[in-house]
Structure 1
Amino acid sequence: MATTRTPFEDLPASVHTVIEERTGPLLKIETTAAGFNSEISARLHWAGGTCFVKGLRTDHPRAWTQQREAEVSPHIRGIAPAVLWHLQTEGWDLVAFEALDGHHADYSPGSPDLPKVADVLRRLSETPCPDIELRRAEQRLLGYVANEDDAEHFVGSALLHTDLNNTNVLVDDEGALLVDWAWATRGAPWLDAGYWVIWLMAAGGHTPETAEEWAARVPTWHTAPRTGIDAFAEAHANLWEEIADAAPDDWTRRMRYAAQGWAAHRSAQ
């Protein structure tokens, strides 16, 4: 469920003052649709540049995600927009990122964006996992596997994004970048390619076979044991069934249908 949005202009004047100590006087403020889980989502313009700011109240249950994004940022340069500053003031937690001008990735079959997404996932798979606090893939999925031993397939030391919604992938002429690292996770290196399979199918037009062909463009996919992929697909069918039951809407239904379709394909092989 989306977080209620607060206009940037409604932040206390003291918060604006702290921000302008970093930027100089703001000349333009654009509220954006980005930041599905953010209370603040805006693009700020000043004489010296532009940035994107997302924020939550410090007492919000997901306020920890702000710190996670700030901590992971130095380790994913060239894969994600850089964090410019992170501040907590007057009950608000705000993170500023370099502004990007790309478009959300088009996951439809034949899209020229798909090779760029595969490439950024390849580059991420080659990025060392930082020694910071991260959730672990096997723990996140433990409650959704058929038996606890299946979760062992997800253990690993790779840095994972895990939320490959096409709105979290920005594409321009140069390539693709991954945004929204709130759910950064440590786990098996092939898992992000698996997450991508489900989002490709949910976008429409992809069969399980064609979605897996795109996953195979990420070299780490080939390190996954067949039983591990089977367990991952089944776990996400269970996960998205739970999510869609709790928050039924068009996109959760599409995700449930895609995850169930992939799991059925894997079990039929």
Structure 2
Amino acid sequence: MNDTAKTAARVMTPVATRTNWRDLPEQVRAAVEEHAGTVHRVDTISSGLNASFTARLHTTTGVTFAKGVPSDRAAAQRREAEINPHVQPFAPHLLWQVDTQGWHILGFEHLDGRAADLSPGSADLAGLADMLSRLAKLATPSNACKRIEDRWADAAQRAEVDTKLLTGDHLLHTDLNPHNVLVTDTGTRIVDWSWPTLGAAWIDTACAAHWLIAEGHTPADAESWASRLAVWTEATPEALKVFTKTNAALWSQIAIAEPRSWKQRLRDAAADWATYRAAARR
């Protein structure tokens, strides 16, 4: 990974304070072991943003990736559990979930992989493009997902745009930061489906392109990368203007609410892309 990649991914830090396995209530640990087997080793994982507990659990049945939050703020994890059957084979399989003694814990198939390198010239970009091409063909789930026009309504209002060009019935991830894009021996996988959203099929490619800009690509180069995907032909110039203006307003608000350096860099990348797209002839 080259130095420009430090603009965002390398400075991402967890929002939640980490809880160790031994600090979980005894009843919670017992409930986890009923599903996962007796735990004989735990590797605490420091990456990830919002979970209070993340670890590899080495048990009598194998290795499981587990993450958890207090039950009173587990809405995102519950969404992830509900959507998991619909996002195969892109996401790791959910094996079990525990909700007891004030903790909500999810146990997933363990993936042996690393965060993707999205910097210019990275070999991981091809795998990301291939995965996004297949992701765009996911079937619309029967369970309720928020729609992009509802999720981004406040940002669109601040940007003074109409989100009708973003609407659709395709299942989207929308949080394609490099730590959610895992490169494994069997291909690129996507983790942390906390915000399953329905919208235009090309939006996940646009969300990835935004991260490419934050990792050192120019807006022109990011769009050139995106144009290799067939789904990108559906992103009309006017739709891209709506997306980039809305995205810039969204990240501006995020960076104001919590001025972490990586969020400020995502804000700057979004603003750069919106400026480029406003001046583009096509």
> Structure 2-normalised TM-score?
0.91
The answer to whether 1:203 aligns with 2:215 is yes
1:172 maps to which residue? 184
**Mapping 1:144-163, distance limit 5 Å:** 144-145=155-156, 146-147=159-160, 150-163=162-175
Partner of 1:188: 200
Q: What is the aligned partner in structure 1 of residue 122 from structure 2?
A: 111
Matched-pair contact (CA < 8 Å) for 1:35–1:54: no
Give the structure 1 partner of residue 18 of structure 2: 5
Identify which of 250, 259, 265 aligns with 2:261: 250
- Which residue of structure 2 aligns with residue 86 of structure 1? 97
Taking only the aligned residue pairs, the percentage that are identical comes to 43
Q: Structure 2 CA distance, aligned partners of 1:96 and 1:178?
A: 16
Verify the 8 A CA contact 2:149 2:167 in the aligned structure 1.
yes
* Alignment partner of 1:42 is 2:42: no
Give structure 2 stretches of 5+ with no counterpart: 1-13
Quote how far apart the aligned CAs of 1:230 are: 0.5
In structure 1, stretches of 5+ residues that fail to align are none
For residues 248 and 17 of structure 2, what CA distance do their matches in structure 1 show? Answer: 28
Deviations 1:143-194 (A, max 9, x none): 222435x211111000000001100000023320000000111111110011
TM-score, normalization by structure 1: 0.95
1:214 aligns with 2:225: yes
Distance 2:61 2:234 in 1: 46
Q: RMSD of the TM alignment (CA)?
A: 1.2
| Conserved 8 A contact 2:41-2:57 | yes
Q: CA deviation at 1:249?
A: 2.2
SS in 2 for 1:44: strand
What is the match of residue 5 of structure 2?
none
Matches within 5 A, 1:7-156: 7-60=20-73, 63-145=74-156, 146-147=159-160, 150-156=162-168
What's the CA shift for 1:47?
2.3
Moved more, 90-99 or 238-247: 238-247
Deviates more, 1:1-10 or 1:130-139: 1-10
Runs of 4+ residues deviating >4 angstroms: none
The one-letter code sitting in structure 2 at the alignment partner of 1:247 is E
Q: Over residues 17-45 of structure 1, what are the superposed CA-to-partner deviations in whole Å (9 max), with x where a residue is unaligned?
A: 11111122111011102331001111100
CA distance in 1, matches of 2:262, 2:48: 16
Q: Distance in 1 between matches of 2:204 and 2:275?
A: 20
Q: 1:213: Cα distance to partner?
A: 1.6
CA offsets 1:85-124 (integer angstroms, 9 cap, x no match): 1121111111111111111000011111001011111111
Structure 1 counterpart SS, 2:240: helix
